[in-house]
Amino acid sequence: MENIKICQVSSLEKIFPSGKADFPECFHAGALQGEELAYQIVLRKEGWGKAEVRWSVSSPLQDAVQVFQVQSVPCELAAYPAEHAHDDDYLTLDSGVFPDILVPLRKNTLEINSALNTTVWVNLTVPEDCPGGEYPICFAVEGEEGRAECTFTLTVIPVRLPAQKLLFTQWFHVDCLAEQYNVPVYSEEHWKIIGAYLKEAARAGMNTVLTPVLTPPLDTAVGTERLCVQLADIEKQGDSYRFELSKLRRFVDLALDCGITHFEINQLFTQWGAKFTPAVYAVEHGERKRIFGWDVRADSPEYTAFLRQLLPAVTELFQSMGLKDRMLFHVSDEPGKDALEQYSRAKAMIRELVGDCPVIDALSDPEFYDQGLVRQPVAATNHIEPFLERQVPELWAYYCCGQNAKVGNRFLSMPSYRNRILGLQLYKYRIRGFLHWGYNFWHSQESKSKIDPFRVTDGGGAFPGGDPFSVYPGENGEPLCSLRLKIFHHALQDLRALELLEALTDRETVEKTVEGFADITFSEYPRNARYLLDMREAVNRKLEAVVRY
């Protein structure tokens, strides 16, 4: 007697452990050469109790298939209260457990349950030289309860997915890596862990990395400081400074080896207005001590003199590595309109020191652009319309906890189509870059304490669950990817496919291929997974037709 229920669903569904898996079944999809594709298999035992089954995958592309089990994590703050203007497009507004962690299945056994869903994530990256055609992927389970199997058909479009043009950064917190794995900062163990996390980030489309020349003054309570991770070793000699930058060079080389191409130098002034200086440590008279921090105003002559020596030294290093054109600088994160004057003074201080390197900062008020303070603003997606109206060249976008109504985001409690829709939106508005603050922010709000990411997913009740990070600290210094990070990568691949179609045809062809293209905005878009799946199938069919003829 067969006592195993099995079904295939798309990667855009979130399967809750005890929920009904009554989603539309997914039997086929297309992908380009070099593209990552995923779908899910939901298993449940008939009758009562639990059982162990053996699983197997057979396919002509078997070597390119990875299999993960989806694990759920707790979340106390699933969404901000209604008075903070969340919308109705959430899976739930209540605390609970949410599917998110992708745990590699290294053994060929699984446990299935009559009371809970067991969800398997099947991940496949199409080889870049894979011939076009149809490729079946058969997944089977077998045990005392019987046998069950399902087959997914992948159609490979014989055209290679182009390289990503969009610059994408999720802020990479090296201090959190040292703390979670309890290793000394920039010890050999720490460097190994940094490399593993950079590789995972690059696989997910991140090509720009926050580079801590100084310890980034981010999410730090006033008067406190985070673990010192400055890459610059500094010696103070009177009014002069000597900089030893071998660690910075090592960080850059490691990032390049992992697939990173661009480097954003950390913010040079404190968050939300550039009022004070970052915590900076130097050796003076043989003693290592803090020489700048919350007790030093941003416009102090001493800090100005320091930057006048530091920034040319850093720029010279990148120049010697042939990377000066891949540097980006920050002044202060998310300055408000009340900080215009202070931000202006801080920007003026560094303008001549960074030359023509881009200065980018996350902000919401277009007056920073109108006054010429930021030529490449990073606009919040729910405040981006004024920047679009101004036709800002090289415009970036970002979202974080505050983008919780109407616009897309990647919270645990949001459906995955609100995550993946971003690719189409970035394409439509020709956005140059995208920024998110939390690749691995494993702290509470303002870094007042460390958290266990497997137990606390909302920054200690500060942010909607899933906002602070998209990877989990796995064993042996290896990251565990989240379902949300994979979906975001699929959004970036949508962007690349749309750009490819435009390159092979024209913009008008893309607009005709994508249903409802003219009506898409950052806040208005179809609220269902089917739209995105159909959109990619339509783009794939058009690409196949173009390549064939």
- Give the tens place of pLDDT for each residue, 355-364: 889 999 999 9
H/E stretch holding 290 reads strand 287-292
CB neighbours (10 Å) of residue 473? 21
Token output for 151: 């087959």
Share of the chain above pLDDT 70, in %: 100
- How would CATH label the architecture of 167-229+244-274+326-341+359-495? Alpha-Beta Barrel (3.20)
Q: Rounded to the nearest 5°, which phi and psi values hold at 487?
A: -65, -40
pLDDT for the residue 83: 74
Rounded to whole angstroms, the Cα distance separating 66 from 125 reads 9
pLDDT for the residue 351: 87
Sorted by where each begins, the domain ranges of the chain are 4-160+502-548, 167-229+244-274+326-341+359-495
CB 126 within 8 A of CB 61: yes
Give the residue ranges of the chain where pLDDT is below 70: 1
pLDDT for the residue 352: 87
pLDDT for the residue 23: 86
For 76-88, letters b (16+ CB in 10 Å) and e give ebbbbeeeeebee
User: If you count them, how many residues does the chain have?
Assistant: 549
Rounded to whole angstroms, the Cα distance separating 453 from 461 reads 13
Could you check whether 4-160+502-548 and 167-229+244-274+326-341+359-495 share the same CATH topology? no
Question: Can you identify the CATH homologous superfamily of domain 4-160+502-548?
Answer: Immunoglobulins (2.60.40.10)
pLDDT for the residue 1: 41
CB neighbours (10 Å) of residue 192? 15
pLDDT for the residue 355: 87
The tally of CA atoms less than 13 A away on the side-chain side of residue 3 is 17
Token output for 104: 């590699």
Rounded to whole angstroms, the Cα distance separating 522 from 512 reads 19
Cα–Cα nearest to 330, from 207, 209, 182, 473: 209
CB 33 within 8 A of CB 127: yes
